């Protein structure tokens, strides 16, 4: 039987008969072992090896040298030095063990040296990246879950802006992308970012992608703003209502490990809460795709590869900064507004597929097209909400329900009906029995931003644009955040915007944007071919 292996997928060649995972080697001068990637079912990659016998030691050495030269030549920019961050408490607390037993031997085999940082607190990795000497580092690796990935992403985005002298507080600033890639060794609870980009949450598969320097177009990232201050970046879920409530409750039960999400999921489902507010969003019209076209973003996705040039044009055409405040459109993208009670408001830049939902929250979302999918689940009965949730686990279309709408967007604003300071009504309302009864449920949920609870309910999200020309002349050219805007603070109105006539355009709202192609991963994107 003949097996052909692309040189790009050969990991290394060693003299003798070697089993690196069991750490056994039989030395013999006329034998060499070739290690390579083997694709198995379900997007998984495993390390395979073949042992070859040559006529003599000289020929063995010749083969080893020849193959190693070929790997160097065709192997592309494989990483040589990696900075690895391990969260010892992610998921089932197995991060360190996974790294030591499964990953470190593979990196050694591939000749990759590693500097390992085991975190001792939340945000340790993010802060370390901001200050670390990254000279000669070819990539970062996180061993943990989505929260850990988020820390690395925040560190890298923060560092790149600091180095480029970009003010992240300015909503019009074009963020600068880092040249460093991030690899994810899944050791968390949901591992959604790994699953949605690699196709599986398997540590060995991820390590092999890192070694062969798999690349996909840089991913979309959206930034969430509150009162016009950036609060977090997200690649996966920015969700209000159900997923916010599940996360908030599950954080109290971290000791349960990944099962905390099931426990809090059932509790939240039974409470059947809905929240009132206004969602305003900018629907992308001029794209070749939509969330219900039943396509899947796979490696070499045309939509994503074409998006770089399309988005460039799009950003040159961006002349409607005013639409950010007024909801008007000048470049073909429509602003829509929906008022009502919602069970869930979910926005996701990628499919957000995970083991619980193999197709994800939005199965046709793209990794790097500069857009996000907004899913609105309006108030419904428990039975209907269960139908909606169940469809994440099977092949039925979760958007084919009368109380669910989905849009491809680049900007989102959300204003809860009751402002945060009014949450519990007036003091007399809070005290009176009837005051408490009148509200059937708390006025606010919270936002789930890639698995972190945001302490605000009023946010908005917007796609990043390059050149901004203003359709509006604003009253005062001074603002604490950005000199172009007029921003006033009053005890009852956190932020509002005025046009030149002094009309208030938006009240109690803040910004949250989708940046295109900002963060690079060691992932090829999910492969189309399912090989055995
Ligand atoms: N040493 C540490 N001690 C406490 N918290 C930490 C430490 N290191 C990292 N963290 C924090 O732990 C949080 C959760 O980690 P992680 O994402 O790895 O696991 P998870 O929440 O179980 O998985 P998922 O995010 O996939 O649901 C992260 O937000 C991170 O900031
Ligand atoms: C009756 C069966 C009900 C099953 C319900 C399954 C619904 C699954 C939908 C999963 C979506 C996950 C989105 C991912 C979010 C992550 O960013 C975040 C951080 O890890 N995880 C969570 C749980 O918030
Ligand atoms: Ca996207």
**280 CA to centre of ligand 3 in angstroms:** 19
Q: What pLDDT does 74 receive?
A: 82
Candidate of 148, 190, 236 to mutate for ligand 2, largest count of ligand atoms within 8 Å of Cβ: 190
**Ligand 2, atom nearest to 250 Cα:** 23
**362 CA to centre of ligand 2 in angstroms:** 12
CA 151, 154, 157, 159 torsion: positive or negative? negative
Distances in Å between the alpha carbon of 433 and those of 406, 418, 420, 439?
A: 39, 19, 21, 11
Cα separation, 284 vs 291, whole angstroms: 11
**Residue of minimum CA distance from atom 13 in ligand 2:** 352
pTM attached to this predicted model: 0.86
Cα separation, 372 vs 291, whole angstroms: 9
User: Which positions ≥6 away from 245 have C-beta within 8 Å?
Assistant: 264, 268, 271, 273, 445, 446
**254 CA to centre of ligand 1 in angstroms:** 10
Q: What pLDDT does 529 receive?
A: 61
Whether ligand 1 lies within 6 angstroms of the CB of 183 is answered as no
Whether ligand 2 lies within 6 angstroms of the CB of 357 is answered as yes
Cα separation, 456 vs 413, whole angstroms: 13
Distances in Å between the alpha carbon of 112 and those of 15, 18, 106, 117?
A: 18, 18, 9, 16
Helix axes 146-164, 124-131, angle to 10 degrees: 30
Element holding 268 (H helix, E strand): helix 260-271
**297 CA to centre of ligand 1 in angstroms:** 28
**Ligand 1, atom nearest to 191 Cα:** 26
Domains of the chain: 7-74 (2.30.29), 81-214 (3.40.50.10330), 223-469+509-519 (2.60.200.40)
Candidate of 148, 353, 357 to mutate for ligand 2, largest count of ligand atoms within 8 Å of Cβ: 357
- Which ligand has its closest atom nearest to the C-alpha of 189? 1
Q: What pLDDT does 417 receive?
A: 82
**Residue of minimum CA distance from atom 10 in ligand 1:** 122
Per residue in 446-489, pLDDT (tens digit) is 999 999 998 777 776 654 432 222 222 222 222 222 222 333 33
**Residue of minimum CA distance from atom 15 in ligand 2:** 237
ipTM: 0.97
Which segments of the chain have a pLDDT < 70? Answer: 22-23, 171, 308-333, 419-442, 460-513, 529-532
Strands 275-283 and 372-378: unpaired
Whether ligand 2 lies within 6 angstroms of the CB of 393 is answered as yes
- Which ligand has its closest atom nearest to the C-alpha of 250? 2
**Ligand 1, atom nearest to 147 Cα:** 17
**193 CA to centre of ligand 1 in angstroms:** 14
Other CB atoms within 10 A of residue 104 CB: 16
Q: Which residue is listed with tokens 């963020």?
A: 175
Per residue in 265-274, pLDDT (tens digit) is 999 999 999 9
Helix axes 260-271, 382-390, angle to 10 degrees: 150
**DSSP symbols for 277-325:** EEEEEEE--SSS--TTS-----TT-HHHHHHHHHHHHHHHT---HHHHH
**146 CA to centre of ligand 1 in angstroms:** 8
Whether ligand 1 lies within 6 angstroms of the CB of 146 is answered as yes
Residue 475 structure tokens: 């009253």
User: Which positions ≥6 away from 342 have C-beta within 8 Å?
Assistant: 240, 241, 274, 275, 276, 277, 279, 376, 377, 378, 379
Nearest Cα to Cα of residue 211 among 20, 438, 478: 20
Whether ligand 1 lies within 6 angstroms of the CB of 122 is answered as yes
Nearest Cα to Cα of residue 464 among 517, 509, 421: 517
Q: What pLDDT does 333 receive?
A: 58
Q: What pLDDT does 249 receive?
A: 97
Whether ligand 2 lies within 6 angstroms of the CB of 60 is answered as no
**Ligand 2, atom nearest to 189 Cα:** 20
Cα separation, 134 vs 156, whole angstroms: 11
- Give me the residues near ligand 3 (ion), CB cutoff below 5 Å: 220, 349, 366, 369
**Catalytic residue annotation:** 146
**Ligand 2, atom nearest to 190 Cα:** 20
């Amino acid at each position: 039987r003949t097996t052909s292996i692309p040189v790009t997928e050969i990991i290394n060649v060693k003299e003798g008969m070697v089993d690196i995972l069991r750490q056994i080697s039989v030395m013999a001068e006329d034998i060499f072992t070739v290690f390579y990637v083997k694709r198995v079912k379900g997007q998984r990659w495993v390390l395979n090896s073949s042992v070859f016998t040559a006529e003599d030691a000289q020929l063995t050495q010749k083969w080893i040298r020849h193959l190693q030269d070929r790997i160097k030549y065709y192997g592309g920019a494989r990483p040589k030095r990696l900075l690895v961050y391990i969260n010892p408490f992610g998921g089932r607390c197995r991060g360190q063990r996974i790294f030591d037993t499964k990953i470190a031997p593979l990196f050694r085999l591939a000749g990759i040296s590693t500097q390992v940082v085991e975190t001792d607190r939340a945000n340790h990795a993010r802060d370390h990246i901001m200050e670390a000497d990254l000279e000669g580092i070819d990539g970062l690796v996180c061993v943990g879950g989505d929260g850990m990935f988020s820390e690395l992403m925040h560190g890298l985005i923060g560092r790149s802006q600091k180095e480029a002298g970009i003010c992240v507080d300015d909503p019009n600033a074009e963020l600068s992308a880092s040249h460093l890639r991030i690899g994810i060794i899944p050791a968390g609870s949901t591992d959604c970012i790994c699953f949605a980009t690699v196709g599986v949450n398997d540590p060995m598969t991820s390590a092999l992608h890192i070694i062969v320097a798999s690349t996909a177009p840089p991913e979309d990232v959206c930034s969430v703003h509150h009162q016009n201050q950036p609060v977090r970046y997200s690649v996966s879920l920015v969700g209000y209502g159900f997923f916010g409530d599940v996360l908030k409750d599950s954080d109290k039960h971290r000791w349960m490990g990944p099962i905390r999400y099931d426990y809090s999921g059932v509790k939240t489902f039974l409470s059947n809460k809905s929240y009132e507010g206004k969602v305003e969003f900018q629907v992308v019209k001029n794209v070749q795709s939509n969330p219900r076209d039943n396509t899947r973003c796979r490696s070499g996705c045309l939509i994503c590869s074409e998006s770089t040039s399309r988005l460039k044009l799009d950003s040159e055409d961006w002349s409607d900064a005013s639409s950010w405040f007024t909801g008007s459109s000048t470049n073909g993208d429509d602003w829509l507004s929906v008022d009502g009670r919602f069970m869930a408001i979910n926005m996701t830049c990628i499919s957000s597929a995970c083991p619980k939902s193999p197709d994800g929250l939005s199965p046709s979302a793209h990794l790097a097209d500069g857009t996000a999918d907004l899913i609105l689940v309006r108030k419904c009965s428990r039975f209907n909400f269960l139908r909606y949730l169940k469809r994440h686990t099977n092949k039925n279309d979760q958007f084919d329900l009368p109380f669910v709408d989905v849009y491809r967007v680049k900007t989102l604003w959300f204003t809860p009906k009751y402002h945060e300071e009014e949450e519990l009504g007036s003091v007399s309302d809070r005290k009176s029995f009837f005051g408490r009864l009148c509200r059937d449920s708390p006025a606010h949920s919270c936002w789930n931003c890639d698995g972190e609870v945001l302490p605000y309910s009023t946010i908005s999200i917007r796609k990043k644009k390059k050149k901004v020309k203003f359709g509006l002349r604003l009253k005062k050219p001074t603002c604490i955040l950005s000199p172009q805007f007029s921003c006033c603070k009053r005890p009852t109105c956190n932020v509002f915007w005025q046009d030149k006539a002094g009309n208030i355009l938006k009240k109690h709202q803040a910004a949250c944007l989708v940046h295109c192609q900002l963060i690079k991963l060691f992932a090829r994107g999910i492969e189309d071919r399912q090989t055995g």
